[in-house]
Amino acid sequence: MDTLSSAERSVRMSRVKGKDTIPEMVVRRIAHRAGYRYRLHEKTLPGKPDLVFRKRKKVIFVHGCFWHRHEECRLARLPKSRLEFWIPKLEKNKRRDDLNLRKLSESGWNVLIIWECEIRQLDLLEQRIKEFLG
């Protein structure tokens, strides 16, 4: 049983952003400050990557731990109610992500996934982005 009414749940879910999230903005600032220029949410690429570096043929996805099922992360815990809805939905997200990664790799793109929980360690994150973009 849901603890919120249908209207309250609708309002709460409408606040979930698909792009320009705080973790994405952190990654964008790090990449820009390091001198890298990128395109956002390229619709022609599988999964519409968050940051696209065309000349380098590299993309970065910034995934929310809950929505994309970050394994062994406390932020990826399942809700307590409506599991018959959430489990299939979240598994479908994971399958879609795997398919998009495979399509990108087959097309010659290098992919970096940054998880929401990783933005807490900015020094490590900056180093990881710089190593990836080289």
Model confidence pLDDT, tens digit, residues 32-48: 999 999 999 999 999 99
Q: CATH classification of 6-133 is 3.40.960.10, yes or no?
A: yes
Beta bridge partners of 60: 51, 112
Domains of the chain, residue spans: 6-133
Per-residue pLDDT of the chain (134 residues; tens, 9 = 90+): 667 677 776 776 666 667 789 999 999 999 999 999 999 999 999 999 999 999 999 999 999 999 999 998 999 999 888 899 899 999 999 999 999 999 999 999 999 999 999 999 999 999 999 999 99
pLDDT at 9: 63
Q: Hey, how many other C-beta atoms are within 10 angstroms of the C-beta on 12? A: 10
